[in-house]
Structure 1
Amino acid sequence: MGPSEIVEELKRLQVPHDAIAKVIGRDRTAATKMLSGKRSVKFNEVAGLEALIAEYRGGAPEVRPAPSPPVSVVPPIKNIARRIPVVGDVQAGVWLEAVVRETYEVEEYLPIDVAGYESATLRAMRVVGPSMNKLYPPGRFVVLADPAEAGIRNGDHVVVERRKDSLTEITLKEYVEEADGRVALWPRSDHPDYQEPFYLRTRDEADQDGVKIIGVVVADYRRRDRPPA
């Protein structure tokens, strides 16, 4: 069966979206997009979907003769559907005028998919400096979801904004809920300057503008610089 035939048969048989999502290893949104024509059937999903169709028909999967091997085989190219904007750097210990931080422009795009966050608003930042170098060496990109969409969990890696007077700092830390109820933001670094946490203020403290979580890390990415030609 071809991709279009698979989609039509899934719709005809009224196969549940959750069953399709389980077969293709994605979330329910991906199955919905496939059935509505907004997402193509991938090469490595065909066999599983044919088996699913056979299950709902009550028969065995269609058996097709193996094609003759081509003279040269070109591996299929993954269809990258997402371009995530890079909106600046995340660097501990560097304080800038607030207006500079608030006027980021898109510098480039990362051509990557993040499973489970297909419908989320994502952006990326470039890691600069050693404050989280055990996990994200300088030059790595972190992909961020909005905390309101993704939620915040103990052990998450988060991008935090700190302010003092007219200055602001954007930094990457690990979110740790301590036994006394406070939330510590820890560096994960082998650099001696980055061995202590700072804390989110509680609701009982007056300065609520001091520290704010502005992104939750849901993926990371690094390019490789090739040697010169």
Structure 2
Amino acid sequence: MVTPIHTTQIEVRGDVQAGVWRDAMEWPRADWYAITVPLDAAYAGLHRYGLLVKGDSMDKVFPDGSIVVAINLIDLGRMPQTGEIAVVVQRSKTSNEFEATVKAVQVLESGEIILWPQSTNPDFATPIRIKPGECDHDAGMPDVFIQALVVASYRPKPMVSF
């Protein structure tokens, strides 16, 4: 017997760099578009949104052009766990803006969080380390923080390489 898959639509509202830090900003609302994704009982009732992945620091998991489905941590009510993937934001070193990237999460017993690229590109082998309390900012906003948990992904046009 075939079990039906229940779906919903989410909005793809911006892009996120998987590689280098890039300005974190949503696209103008007129540029948002909807995609259909399966409902996920584990995140029932939580607002999900899509981000277009650009770059290759996560290409083992999300090749350039993939769409990640994310839930903001404030809505989720918990921090990511080891092995999960997150949207990470940092204060720009050159402006008052913020920059974002996508990385795999490792939480050490000490509370330190290591954010790992998952790339075939050797230029993206260095992790980002966040020590407990180290990323606090004098204005109350940390310099680096995890904004969202990636809960799914979608590849609009899968391709293979030879």
TM-score by length of 2: 0.78
**Higher helix share goes to which structure?**
1
Cα deviation, residue 140, structure 1: 0.7
- Determine whether 1:113 maps to 2:41: no
Q: Which runs of 4+ in 1 moved over 4 A?
A: 78-81
- Number of aligned residue pairs: 149
- Determine whether 1:162 maps to 2:95: no
**Higher strand share goes to which structure?**
2
For 2:71 and 2:32, locate their aligned partners in 1 and report how far apart those are by CA, in whole Å.
Answer: 18
For 2:64 and 2:148, locate their aligned partners in 1 and report how far apart those are by CA, in whole Å.
Answer: 18
- Counterpart of 2:125 in structure 1 is 195
Structure with larger Rg: 1
Higher RCO (C-alpha 8 Å, min separation 6): 2
1:136 to 62, 81, 84: 62
State the Cα RMSD in Å. Answer: 2.6
For 1:146 and 1:205, locate their aligned partners in 2 and report how far apart those are by CA, in whole Å.
Answer: 19
Question: What secondary structure sits across from 1:209 in the alignment?
Answer: coil
Cα deviation, residue 146, structure 1: 1.9
Question: What secondary structure sits across from 1:84 in the alignment?
Answer: strand
Does the 8 A contact of 1:127 with 1:139 survive in 2?
Answer: yes
For 1:108 and 1:205, locate their aligned partners in 2 and report how far apart those are by CA, in whole Å.
Answer: 34
Q: Unmatched 5+ residue regions in structure 1?
A: 1-42, 46-77
2:111 to 169, 181, 188: 181
